[in-house]
Amino acid sequence: MTSAAMAGAKRRTGRSTGRILPILTVLLAIIAIWYAGAVWMNATWVRDQAARADTVLTTSELVRQTLMLERPVLPAPHQVAAGLWEGVAGQKITSKRSLVWHGWITLSATLAGFAIGTAAGILLAVGIVHNRAMDQSVMPWAVASQTVPILAIAPMVIVVFASMGVTGLLPKAMIAAWLSFFPVLVGMVKGLRTPDAMQLDLMHSWHASRAQQFWRLRLPSSLPYLFASLKVAIAAALVGTIVGELPAGATAGLGARLLSGSYYGQTVQIWAALFAAAMLAALLVMLIGALERLTLRRMGLAR
């Protein structure tokens, strides 16, 4: 290895530890605060129990007990981690106690809703960009649709679909689509309008049809905006799906897992399901990010 290469390698490792260290520090701080919170919030219960049993607890005994309650007010990180591990690896994935099974139920509805929402957002954006009447009429309705609290709408959607005999994936996907079409719509309207006057003039000078203008200029120009929107949209779709799983009657999905956890005071189960949902969201966003980098680099649009 040449000295230059060694210096390069050193700089690289230096840079990566330089990046990891702050992340690790923040993570440790969060865990420390979490533990402190768990001790503080669960202490009342532990003291009550001790008073009832007429025993006096030492501080270390108090702390120990607050961190291993079966139904803590706030479960400690290691309890959530154990619950998560138990839910993911400790069950057959076909089991109703498996987080993988519930996660799949949620994921499938999320992806279906994301697909519907993305298609709707793109189609509406194309309409807005190409049609004056749509340009002036669609956007206010789209904005209004997002100001309606989804928590209020979701049960109605579920009930209406159920009355038509449709249950399961589709009603949840509709709620997910409701939330995810909007960022795609806004991003695509902006993206499809990025070509400047000069580029449109060039197309005009070649006597290009609107379809040619769309496929060869507007659509490729809009892709950076589309990907940025898709990241927001997929996270929104996941939230929508989970909200759709909350109304009574749902028995499957991470949302149902959250709900049943709260019914029975299984706080560890709630937190495990929450973390599963968060990790799912992070995974999906990262997936789109990777797709974005790949596409934009190939198109010479990477920034």
**Interacting residues toward another protein by CB under 8 A:** 198-199, 201-208, 212, 216-217, 220, 298-301
Shortest approach of another protein to residue 88 CB, angstroms? 41
Between 64 and 216, name the residue whose CB sits nearer to another protein: 216
User: Cα dist. 8→1, 4, 17, 19, 20 in Å?
Assistant: 11, 6, 14, 16, 18
φ, ψ at 77 (rounded to 5°): -50, -45
Shortest approach of another protein to residue 300 CB, angstroms? 4
Shortest approach of another protein to residue 296 CB, angstroms? 9
Pair 117, 176: CB distance under 8 Å: yes
Shortest approach of another protein to residue 71 CB, angstroms? 57
Shortest approach of another protein to residue 220 CB, angstroms? 5
Between 53 and 198, name the residue whose CB sits nearer to another protein: 198
Place of tokens 């533990």: 35
Between 282 and 302, name the residue whose CB sits nearer to another protein: 302
Between 98 and 222, name the residue whose CB sits nearer to another protein: 222
Cβ count near 258 (within 10 Å): 22
Shortest approach of another protein to residue 280 CB, angstroms? 32
Shortest approach of another protein to residue 291 CB, angstroms? 16
Between 287 and 299, name the residue whose CB sits nearer to another protein: 299
Between 217 and 236, name the residue whose CB sits nearer to another protein: 217
Between 127 and 220, name the residue whose CB sits nearer to another protein: 220
Pair 110, 241: CB distance under 8 Å: yes
Place of tokens 């759709």: 244
